[in-house]
Amino acid sequence: MLRMAHPMMHHRTPQFSAIFSETKAMLEKVFQTRNDALMLASSGSGAMEAAVTNLCSPGDTIIYVNGGKFGERWGKIAAKHGVNVVEIKVEWGHAVSVDAVREALEAHPHARGVFVQASETSTTTEHPIREIAALTRSLPKCALVVDAITALGVIDMPMDAWGLDVVISGSQKAFMLPPGLAMIALSEKAWALTEEAKCPRFYFDLAVERKNQQRGKDTTAWTPAASLIIGLNEVLKMMFEEGLDELYARHALLARAARAGVKALGMELVSKAPATSATGAYVPEGIDGGAFVKYLRDVMGVTFAGGQDHLKGKIVRIAHLGYYDAFDITTAMSAIEMALGKFGHPVNMGAGVAAAQDVLLERFPKA
């Protein structure tokens, strides 16, 4: 991404506007929407807050799925803005049940929206977005708001076809860039709700952004994260060169391989509905997961994430999105196997790698 380090093109020039416009059009193809995909100089949490303040008024009620650290955040944001919440509490590692969402919608017919993660990163779990959308799309005043920060560009999630109302993403996951750029798209239903929403907003006023970012204007309300937008332009071209179907298939294959690998090592998956973006597995009893991840990173030079809150010290998370390909998974398995050995755990050396390879073979043609 050397283009991001070039002396900065000024962002109020036709040169930048041309890149902006091209980037936005490509981004809308990844969102799979005919509406605007807006770019915000912010991390994903800012766009999550934007979804709340642009759809709700103080005193409104929303339903949110709390099945991990990110789901929990919807509740915190709503509370800050005087929005009432109906929490659907889900055991960590489980997907929300569609029935629970249906019941909440029936009990709260005036709910402004259902707020959920497509992929809850803290537990490496995917929620059934498409099925939830089948419930909300017939409700004219209730939006389905999807945090897709680790799902967009990872799994096929056609916004318009499924009837998703707000989809949020960020630069640093599937888009392989440094963090600092958030993306957000709204359905026509969601845009209509913004007109009634009275939560105060300025920097994250999406109607103002839409007016500026629309085709022909091709600018942003506030100074854009220009280097990241220029980087995104390159990344999107790479993604279309690979082909979106191929890209989704690659992610799915890597996820399957990672699951096969950790299972072959006798490790239990954290999730009952495992994500395509990352795989979480419990470290064996008696091993401190914090020390395990630290050893992998500092001694072996291979980066994994650990667990948060009550999963802290208990799990290891293997990412497989964006740049990741077959040998990132074999490397991850190899490192985990050797680290298990170093931590005194009996391990059948090569078993995790072999199980992953059995899956990864599908990635390569006949010689």
Q: Quick count: other Cβ atoms within 10 Å of Cβ 26?
A: 17
The 203-222 contact track toward a copy of itself, x by CB under 8 A, reads xxx---------------xx
Q: Is the Cβ of residue 33 or residue 277 nearer to a copy of itself in the bound state?
A: 277
Binding of a copy of itself by 180 (CB under 8 A)? yes
Q: Is the Cβ of residue 299 or residue 349 nearer to a copy of itself in the bound state?
A: 299
Q: Encode burial over 170-194: b for 16+ CB neighbours within 10 A, e otherwise.
A: bbbbbbbbeeebbbbbbbebbbebb
| CA triple 297-301-307, angle to 5 deg | 25
Binding of a copy of itself by 147 (CB under 8 A)? no
Binding of a copy of itself by 121 (CB under 8 A)? no
Q: Is the Cβ of residue 268 or residue 309 nearer to a copy of itself in the bound state?
A: 309
Closest CA to 222 of 47, 40, 54, 48: 40
Residue with tokens 């008024």: 57
Smallest distance from the beta carbon of 285 to a copy of itself, in angstroms? 26
Residue 248 corresponds to which amino acid? Y
Q: Is 344 helix (H, G, I), strand (E, B) or coil?
A: coil
Binding of a copy of itself by 76 (CB under 8 A)? yes
Closest CA to 333 of 285, 265, 272, 269: 265
Considering only residues 278 to 317 of the shown chain, the ones binding a copy of itself according to CB under 8 A are: 297, 303, 305
Q: Are 74 and 115 in contact (CB under 8 A)?
A: yes
Per DSSP, helices labelled H in 66-128 are 69-80, 98-107
Smallest distance from the beta carbon of 169 to a copy of itself, in angstroms? 12
Distances in Å between the Cα of 230 and the Cα atoms of 7, 149, 184, 226, 349 are: 12, 19, 18, 6, 44
33, 124, 213, 227: which one binds a copy of itself (CB under 8 A)? 227
The 245-284 contact track toward a copy of itself, x by CB under 8 A, reads ----------------------------------------
Q: Encode burial over 101-120: b for 16+ CB neighbours within 10 A, e otherwise.
A: beebbeebeebbbbbbbbbb
Binding of a copy of itself by 86 (CB under 8 A)? no
Distances in Å between the Cα of 102 and the Cα atoms of 111, 134, 136, 210, 340 are: 12, 10, 9, 32, 43
- Contact range with a copy of itself by CB under 8 A, out of 62-70, 73-81, 96-104, 161-169: 73-81
26, 46, 86, 97: which one binds a copy of itself (CB under 8 A)? 46
21, 26, 81, 212: which one binds a copy of itself (CB under 8 A)? 81
10, 215, 310, 366: which one binds a copy of itself (CB under 8 A)? 10
Positions touching a copy of itself (CB under 8 A) are 1-5, 8, 10-13, 41-46, 49, 76-77, 80-82, 170, 172, 177-181, 199-205, 221-228, 297, 303, 305
